[in-house]
Amino acid sequence: MSNLTYGQVTKDVIRPLFTPTKMYFITLAVSVSALMVGAYCWAIQLMNGLGVAGYEPPVMWGVYITTFVFWVGIGHAGTLISAVLFLFRARWRTGVYRASEAMTIFAVMTAGLFPILHAGRCWYAYWLFPYPNQRELWPNFKSPLVWDVFAISTYLTVSAIFFYIGLIPDIASVRDKIKGTGKKVYAALALGWRGTDNQWRHYMAAYGFFAALATPLVVSVHSIVSWDFAMASTPGWHSTIFPPYFVAGAIFSGCAMVLTLLIPMRILFKWEDYLTIWHFERLAQLCLVTGGILTYAYATEYYIAWYSDNPYEWGTFIYRPTGDYAWVFWIMVTCNCIIPLAWWSKRMRTSLKWLFIISIFVNIGMWFERFNIIASSLAHMFDPGAWVYYLPSKIEMGIMFGSFGWFFTLFLLFVKVMPMVAIAEIKEGVRPPLSTDEGDAA
């Protein structure tokens, strides 16, 4: 980045806002089509009821909750990169944090759809919020599901604020470059930002506090999501290892998703100067660490189950790799524990092709991890007479597919209207124009 100038940074980052390529429209069309598939399946579910979702007692949580946990997990890497790495002053964060934060917001927005889809009667979704009913009864604040509502709402709100505040100076840059009617929209969104000393002073203080407030959320949100499971006495769920295990898994999957999103963006928008191999290598290393923790957690789960001497717990853990859901278990192990080991090789960490391919495997593996936890435990609980083999229905799979369409559509639309690399922060990494430089750097 040493050869860049402030003016060049503004120009490069804003460029994609004005020049949509053919490839961009094709990708958008594919995403919208996937979204339509999901919308169609949801319409069928609304007309026919939750029966079409393939639930079969006792398996009353299936693909929707799996996909909910998957998307919440994806969000975590964004907050880790934007908040935690900001506090640790990790320089490599600058290039990738805007896209990661956008990913967080859209992933949590996607996740938020699933409790509504799963509850069936979406028009009563407001029942989730804490307010007393007509008999003046409040929700039970001791319930993990109520904790989850608080966790997800807080996470979405804080991430959205953090994201928007980070965008304001960059929106002001776009406002000053653009002409026509769009200028008015950017001017309104920039809130009159002019980068005065007073504004920057309070801005930097507030930004630090947002980072400090968002940091514990990285750990807390997925811990609370894990308690949706761990607080129940279901075999395979009732374990104290769940919070750290879920948090590590969330960061692992989120970093993989950042790779999946940023590698095509780098090619599409010619951002080789901003999204360098160095950035991607850092992400792959983060995946290696969190993937290692995850593998260790899988092993520890087995140890805990064996050491507990509880036949139901141990039975579930034997059932997972050998029973009906063995294929799910082994996809999970292969994609999360074995394939990412390739990143120990520097060649694999620095090849865009392999980074992208492995990141896709991790995404798949992490979805199957959640399916493995949910389906195999519920289908194989205490009473052998109640054991079933649940498989997702077409409607469930359609809605899950649609959620990817929804996520990518939001992301692609966002790329088109907002700077996806933080202009002001990139400039912080660029040598400022000095009169002592040869020639005019500005």
Partner 1 sequence: MSTSNVKGVFAHLDLLMTAIDRLDRAGFEKPVVTTPLPRHDVEEALYHGKPSPVRWWTLAGALTGLTVGITLTSFTAMDWPMTIPGGKPLVAIPPYVTIMFECTILLGALFTTLGLLFHCRLPTTGLPEELKDPRFSDDHFGLFLAGLTKEKQSEAQEILTTAGALEVVPGGRSE
Binding site for partner 1 (CB under 8 A): 5-7, 10, 130, 132, 136-138, 141-142, 146-147, 150-151, 153-154, 157-158, 161-162, 165, 169, 172-173, 175-177, 191-206, 209-210, 213-214, 216-217, 220, 224, 227, 423-425, 427-428, 432-437, 440-442
Here the tokens at position 69 are 């946990």
Nearer CB in complex with partner 1: 7/264 = 7
The rounded distance, in Å, linking the Cα atoms of 50 and 41 is 11
Nearer CB in complex with partner 1: 128/388 = 128
CB 129 within 8 A of CB 149: yes
Helices (H), 309-351: 311-322, 326-333, 346-349
Rounded to a whole number of angstroms, the CA Rg of the chain reads: 23
Q: How far is the CB of 175 from partner 1 (least distance, A)?
A: 8
Nearer CB in complex with partner 1: 153/285 = 153
Q: How far is the CB of 372 from partner 1 (least distance, A)?
A: 26
Nearer CB in complex with partner 1: 138/303 = 138
Q: How far is the CB of 323 from partner 1 (least distance, A)?
A: 34
Nearer CB in complex with partner 1: 151/257 = 151
Q: How far is the CB of 432 from partner 1 (least distance, A)?
A: 4
User: What's the burial of 133, exposed, middle or buried (CB within 10 Å: 0-12/13-18/19+)?
Assistant: exposed
Q: How far is the CB of 178 from partner 1 (least distance, A)?
A: 10
Q: How far is the CB of 157 from partner 1 (least distance, A)?
A: 6
- 32: Cα within 13 Å, side-chain hemisphere: 8
Q: How far is the CB of 222 from partner 1 (least distance, A)?
A: 13
Helices (H), 345-420: 346-349, 352-378, 394-417
Nearer CB in complex with partner 1: 72/217 = 217
Nearer CB in complex with partner 1: 66/173 = 173
Nearer CB in complex with partner 1: 227/343 = 227
User: What's the burial of 111, exposed, middle or buried (CB within 10 Å: 0-12/13-18/19+)?
Assistant: buried
Q: Where are the beta strands (DSSP E) in 36-193?
A: none
Nearer CB in complex with partner 1: 26/212 = 212
Sign of CA dihedral 248, 83, 111, 145: positive
Q: How far is the CB of 196 from partner 1 (least distance, A)?
A: 5
- CA distance to 56, 309, 400, per residue, from 315 (Å): 21, 10, 30
Q: How far is the CB of 224 from partner 1 (least distance, A)?
A: 6
Here the tokens at position 154 are 């807080």
Q: How far is the CB of 200 from partner 1 (least distance, A)?
A: 5
Contacts of 90 (CB under 8 A, 6+ apart): none
Residue at token pair 């966002």: 414
Nearer CB in complex with partner 1: 36/204 = 204
CB 109 within 8 A of CB 153: no
The rounded distance, in Å, linking the Cα atoms of 333 and 366 is 10
Phi, psi of 69 (to 5 degrees): -65, -40
DSSP result, 138-169: PP-TTSHHHHHHHHHHHHHHHHHHHHHHHHHH
